[in-house]
């Protein structure tokens, strides 16, 4: 499992912390589900979004390509051991 796959969309996209956002109002939902509830046609946009690509296991981009895109945004992809419960707890503080 990758650490970034557990990040919320506003963390991946490095949104302004003060910006109002439907996804922030519903952090228990994936952003594409939140926007899809408001506009079902928007999913075509979401399929091309970096957040969707990072979080979906069937992404067409390789892990190396995803790492490169994230590196251009200044985000390092960190790989965690599958049994790292303490790491997941620390993630909630981010």
Give dist(CA 11, CA 15) in Å, integer.
Answer: 7
Residue ranges per domain, the chain?
3-91
Total number of residues shown for the chain: 94
Residue whose pair of structure tokens reads 């589900």 in the numeric block: 33
Does pTM top 0.75 for this prediction?
no
Determine the Cα angle at 40 with ends 35 and 46, to 5°: 55
Instruction: Give the position of tokens 């051991």.
Output: 81
Q: What is the pLDDT of residues 16-71, one digit of tens each?
A: 888 888 889 999 999 988 888 888 777 778 877 888 887 876 667 777 887 888 88
């Amino acid at each position: 499992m990758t650490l970034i796959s557990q990040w919320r969309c506003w963390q991946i996209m490095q949104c302004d912390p003060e910006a109002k956002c439907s996804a922030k109002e519903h952090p228990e939902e994936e952003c594409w589900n939140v926007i899809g509830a408001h506009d079902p046609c928007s999913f075509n946009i979401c399929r091309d979004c970096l957040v969707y690509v990072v979080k979906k296991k069937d992404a067409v981009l390789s892990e190396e390509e995803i790492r490169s895109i994230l590196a251009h945004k200044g985000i390092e992809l960190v790989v965690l051991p599958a049994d790292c419960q303490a790491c997941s707890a620390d993630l909630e503080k981010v």
